[in-house]
Amino acid sequence: MPSGTPRRNDLWSLLDASWAAEEGGLDAFLHRVLERSAAHFGATGASLFLLDEDTGEFRLATKSGLDARMPDDAVILPGEGFAGKAVRTGRPLLLGPEQGGRRELTSAMVVPLVGPEGDCIGVLNLSRGTGLRTFSANDLRRARAVAGHLALAVSNAMLFRRMDEAVREARALHLRLRTVLDCLGVGMLVIDSDGRVIQHNAQFGIMTGANLVDGRAWNERPTVSRELTETLARAVGVALVGRSERRHCTSATTDRSWVVVGAPMRCGAAIAVEEVTELDRLQRETARTSRLAEIGQMTAAIAHEIRNPLTGIRTAAQLVRTCPEQSDELGRIIEEEAVKLNHLCDDFLEFARPLRLELTPVDLGEVVREVAESCRAEFDSAGVSLAVRKGGLSIIEADRRRVEQVCRNLLLNALQACERGGEVEVLVEEGRLSVVDSGAGIDDETKDKLFTPFFTTKSRGTGLGLSTVRKIVQAHGGHISVHSELGKGTSFELDFGKAA
């Protein structure tokens, strides 16, 4: 109990944090603190200011008696005025009427609420009106003793309010999460680090057939397919050791398929499941349709390619009959066209045959240099310059003959795209190859068809070059891309997958 005359009020019960159950919450509690402090010290006016942690200012929290006239937005700035000084020093101040600046007051006490760690969390102002006894030095001593307890009570109450708000926020978040999970078209499961179900949505049960119970092991009941159960178990295992994974699985018996995603969480994992049976079916259908379209396109292109030499052969054969004296010349034409047909068959068979690679360590730079040398004469006679640049050794694991074929195709395409005076540059760096030309460039419509077998814009082209290039690159596990600007040129960039 404070020293001096104890007054009959329960100031000390304020330390009890049962305010939260009280109607009106924190505001009502603060007002109670104020009224009881005023009663305790026999004050006729009282106000309580609390620290605003964002601005460092002290804002009016509650007021009563003579102080009720104080504007609601009143603030105390640390260091400014009597109250500001009390905040700085942490010591209560006793003010007479002239210092208080208000004529109706005989005396006032400014009591900083200083917490156990010496931080000032608020200011309690107590005043007595005219006709009343002024506050004594003893009152000030008691005020100092009481201030620490009041500070504790107020900061406890504020802490409780923050906790209460946090709990309410967490509950609201939980509810929101549940609603979101239930609206999702994806099955969701959240487990703890022991694999026990923390949360799941109805979709999870619908998609997997697993009947989950919160708090029980997620894999207590089987799913609709052995493959799905295994994929889920794998995703859970991987996520619980801190990695994310996405897997596709198909039931061999029912042909249903799912995508399972596992992601690590603090103290557990989240698993998402989506049934993609219909999507897979559509994709297969689309692939089949585009394959059929490709075959149709190829058949038309082959027929066209065969018809040209055949027309030549038929015309020459008819002429042999009517003009036998030209049979030598006509025989030559027939032979040439037959050779062309033969080449076409070779190209087609080569393209249609599955690739069988003979992998050895290959120096990509050396292959490029050799192919460039073998094409040099063609470039010279077309008046197009050819340069090879290499950045260090580029050894790759590849089929040398196929790599040569890729280089030759790209170099000849680049040459054919250039006018006299054009430039072609080949760059080899870290297993990557770029062929850059200053040719005509490629429009967007052509770009979409570049790799389609038999697509060509050339009168004497086969349209098999780039589709073969891509087939070879992909068989190596590599990747090819094209960048082009109309009128400026084109660059093909590719790699052959692994370095040796």
* Interacting residues with ligand ADP (CB under 6 A): 409, 413-414, 417, 437, 439-440, 442, 446, 450, 455-458, 461-467, 490
Shortest CB 412 distance to ligand ADP, Å:
7
Shortest CB 384 distance to ligand ADP, Å:
12
Nearer CB in complex with Mg ion: 33/450: 450
Nearer CB in complex with ligand ADP: 314/458: 458
Shortest CB 472 distance to ligand ADP, Å:
13
Q: How many CA atoms lie within 13 A of 58 on its CB side?
A: 27
Nearer CB in complex with Mg ion: 188/414: 414
Residue among 474, 479, 414 at smallest CA distance from 442 = 414
| Three-state SS annotation for 167-208 | HHHHHHHHHHHHHHHHHCCCEEEEEECCCEEEEECHHHHHHH
Task: Answer with the entry of Mg ion, ligand ADP, none that 126 interacts with (C-beta below 5 to 8 A by kind).
Answer: none
Task: Answer with the entry of Mg ion, ligand ADP, none that 458 interacts with (C-beta below 5 to 8 A by kind).
Answer: ligand ADP
Nearer CB in complex with Mg ion: 45/463: 463
Gap between the Cα atoms of 210 and 258, Å rounded:
14
Residue among 361, 404, 396, 400 at smallest CA distance from 496 = 396
Shortest CB 446 distance to ligand ADP, Å:
6
Shortest CB 458 distance to Mg ion, Å:
8
Torsions phi, psi for 361 (to 5 deg): -70, 125
Torsions phi, psi for 489 (to 5 deg): 140, 180
**In the complex, which residue's CB is closest to ligand ADP?**
465
Nearer CB in complex with ligand ADP: 107/413: 413
Nearer CB in complex with ligand ADP: 139/305: 305
Shortest CB 356 distance to ligand ADP, Å:
22
Gap between the Cα atoms of 319 and 44, Å rounded:
131
Q: What is the residue whose two structure tokens read 């082959």? A: 302
Gap between the Cα atoms of 95 and 90, Å rounded:
16
Residue among 150, 148, 143, 125 at smallest CA distance from 60 = 125
Shortest CB 434 distance to ligand ADP, Å:
12
Nearer CB in complex with ligand ADP: 249/406: 406
Among residue numbers 157 through 186, which ones bind Mg ion (CB under 5 A)? none
Whether the Cβ atoms of residue 111 and residue 149 lie closer than 8 Å to each other: no
Nearer CB in complex with Mg ion: 218/455: 455
Residue among 377, 370, 472 at smallest CA distance from 415 = 377
| Of positions 413, 467, 484, 490, contacts Mg ion by CB under 5 A | 413
**Burial of 210 per CB tally in 10 Å (0-12, 13-18, 19+):** buried
Shortest CB 466 distance to ligand ADP, Å:
3
DSSP assignment of 21-62: GSTTHHHHHHHHHHHHHHHHTT-SEEEEEEE-TTTS-EEEEE
Residue among 116, 112, 130 at smallest CA distance from 48 = 112
Shortest CB 491 distance to ligand ADP, Å:
8
Task: Answer with the entry of ligand ADP, Mg ion, none that 450 interacts with (C-beta below 5 to 8 A by kind).
Answer: ligand ADP
What number of chain residues touch Mg ion (CB under 5 A)?
A: 2
| Helices first, then strands: H and E counts in the chain | 12, 18
Task: Answer with the entry of Mg ion, ligand ADP, none that 446 interacts with (C-beta below 5 to 8 A by kind).
Answer: ligand ADP
Task: Show the site string, 430-469: x = touches Mg ion by CB under 5 A, - = not.
Answer: -----------------------------------x----
Task: Answer with the entry of Mg ion, ligand ADP, none that 181 interacts with (C-beta below 5 to 8 A by kind).
Answer: none
Residues that bind Mg ion (CB under 5 A): 413, 465
